[in-house]
Structure 1
């Protein structure tokens, strides 16, 4: 809920910046990133940035990011240019500047609460009273690309004991991404949506993992190339939402496998995985 509230204020901040500071969104990949928030908390308008000593802004970049002096110098140059342009084409609304400062204060306050809660959660999980088996399962889920520690904690908290799910499709139904039934008498619909039964929080966490899994990191390397390729194949002739649900199904299979086998995730090429599956089946038949 705190993250949702923070996101609401971040959207409002971005909207206000487009009015008072045109072009600002081209400076940072995320105009509500830590570097951007720290900058705007001290210099919320184009005029204040133009009047600020260069070394002060460079210091903000160096303290709030890990990108070094070259990035900081280049970012300042782009920022100064955009601030000059915004001074001419932006709307000089003092009230809006106050609103920006207010939004930033709220965002920082909420983020502080989030950080405190995350620290408490982490301390609890690392404590001696926390069950070792659950801690191990969190680490197993965390080994899957695209899943962070908080998401792993959320998923494990929602699933509980994996022994209650005999097959991956049972886990699919639990997350509510199985197809809903669209049937009346002899009529059977072919445009079914996901049922959305089961855990709403778990489904939301799974959706976030799916989006992360088909994206690239800062260096342009896919988070999970196998899933990204699978997503792009499914996009052919299908809607993006349907292709994303297919990714969510795959992730559930990953989760079920690592928890059932109690082994960390190992990414394999689909052809190699298929060959290993056939070999294992052959050995089981011989045995």
Structure 2
């Protein structure tokens, strides 16, 4: 700080702090210099990496990197970085942690299923979700078919009922299936001394992960209650078909300070949904892929929302009939995955409009949009 004060006194202006984004390591420095009253700019590594070959010599050290970042600032292509308020920053951290834990749960469920395929064949025919509450309760007490057959039917029924399974009758049916499957597994399954320990450890990991997710969700609820503007925006996002409670929270957390976006295209680019372009001389690339330079978390959320908005439910119409009609029409000429990207783009525009206008989503047909915009009149 003393050196910065000295430079400020000599030059008569406060220096601008320019730093490269390095995962989470730059955040503490960013906050420190902002609180000290300095203008701070965080450079995307993609931008700073563009100058790595500006010199012919292959030299890589801190002095050279600092010089290149300073040159990048002199080009006037950088703008002052904005950090979302503490509540949104905390919400983003919690949502990303929840997403990571959910991925770990899926991984351990798959691992447990693989173990049971060898140790306890056909167990998944009794419990389709081997990581569910009732299944984990059974596996804690009976990790192998040999141990399960030593338990009485009443003991097994008690284990399943305590786990909260659907009633006594369903529990009795599960016990019958379990014993039948266990008898077959004695002949078909692979036996090894460590089988029980492997299954119990996998179940213990699932218990710990699921408990961690529950604690994260409680922290998210507590944070939302404290911030009325977050509650309002979450409620607005949930009016969009295909976006549920968890998706709306995570989307708002990833967007951060919405006032930074003046046009829908800016939000699209921030999410990494803008098409990359390739053109040189007379050549123009026809296969344009998504830039994918935004948050991978938000793209996964938008993909899920797009699928939910057009997927037909049993004896029900799709959540968003307008997008469903668009999806069916475009699939006649384009691959479904390309059309799904177009749906994500449209959802991004809808999210922008809802947050900009601070009004709930209103389902309108294309003709109604055209009429409101004055493109044509209806007699």
Task: Identify which of structures 1 and 2 has the higher relative contact order when contacts are C-alpha pairs closer than 8 Å and 6+ apart.
Answer: 1
- Whether 1:79 aligns to 2:178 is yes
Quote how far apart the aligned CAs of 1:234 are: 4.7
Moved more, 225-234 or 110-119: 225-234
Give the structure 1 partner of residue 52 of structure 2.
none
The residue number in structure 2 matching 1:138 is: 234
In structure 2, distance between residues paired with 1:221 and 1:60: 38
1:36 aligns with 2:135: yes
Match of 2:216 in 1: 117
Alpha-carbon distance between aligned partners in 1 of 2:317 and 2:183, rounded to the nearest angstrom:
37
Larger Rg over CA atoms: 2
Q: Does the 8 A contact of 2:273 with 2:290 survive in 1?
A: yes
- The partner residue of 2:300 within 204, 224, 233 is 204
Report the Cα distance in structure 2 between the residues aligned to 1:174 and 1:126, rounded to whole angstroms: 27
Long gaps (5+) in structure 2: 1-99
Shift of 1:207: 3.1
SS of residue in 2 equivalent to 1:205 = helix
- The verdict on how the C-alpha distance between 1:55 and 1:231 changes in structure 2, with shifts beyond 3 A counting, is farther
Query: For the structure 1 residues 178 and 280, does the alpha-carbon distance in structure 2 shift closer, same or farther, using more than 3 Å as the test?
Result: same
Write the distance in 1 (CA, Å) between the matches of 2:324 and 2:135. 30
Q: Are the aligned partners of 2:134 and 2:165 in contact in 1 as well (CA < 8 Å)?
A: no
Worse overlay, 106-115 or 272-281: 272-281
Is it true that 1:46 corresponds to 2:139 in the alignment?
A: no
Aligned partner of residue 193 in structure 1, secondary structure: coil
Q: Counterpart in 1 of 2:167?
A: 68
Question: Does 2:351 match 1:255?
Answer: yes
Query: Is residue 118 of structure 2 the alignment partner of residue 19 of structure 1?
Result: yes
SS in 1 for 2:127: coil
Match of 2:283 in 1: 187
CA contact (8 A) 2:113 2:130 kept: yes
- Higher relative helix content: 1
Given the alignment of the two structures, is residue 224 of structure 1 paired with residue 354 of structure 2, yes or no? no
The two structures have a TM-score, normalised by structure 2, of: 0.63
In 2, distance between residues paired with 1:228 and 1:284?
24
Q: Secondary structure at the match of 2:194?
A: helix
| 1:260 Cα deviation after fit | 2.7
Are the equivalent residues in 2 in contact too, given 1:145–1:223 (CA < 8 A)? Answer: no
Determine helix, strand or coil for the equivalent of 1:197: coil
> Within 1, Cα distance between the matches of 2:317 and 2:173?
27
- In structure 1, what is the equivalent of residue 20 of structure 2? none
Give distance in 2, aligned partners of 1:181 and 1:6. 38
Worse overlay, 200-209 or 118-127: 200-209
Confirm whether residue 94 of structure 1 aligns to residue 189 of structure 2: no
Matched, 1:159 2:255: yes
| Preserved CA contact (<8 Å) 2:109 2:131 | yes
TM-score by length of 1: 0.81
CA distance in 1: counterparts of 2:106 and 2:330, whole angstroms: 30
* The one of 188, 201, 206 aligned to 1:107: 206
* 1:49 CA displacement: 2.9
Aligned-partner SS, 1:94: coil
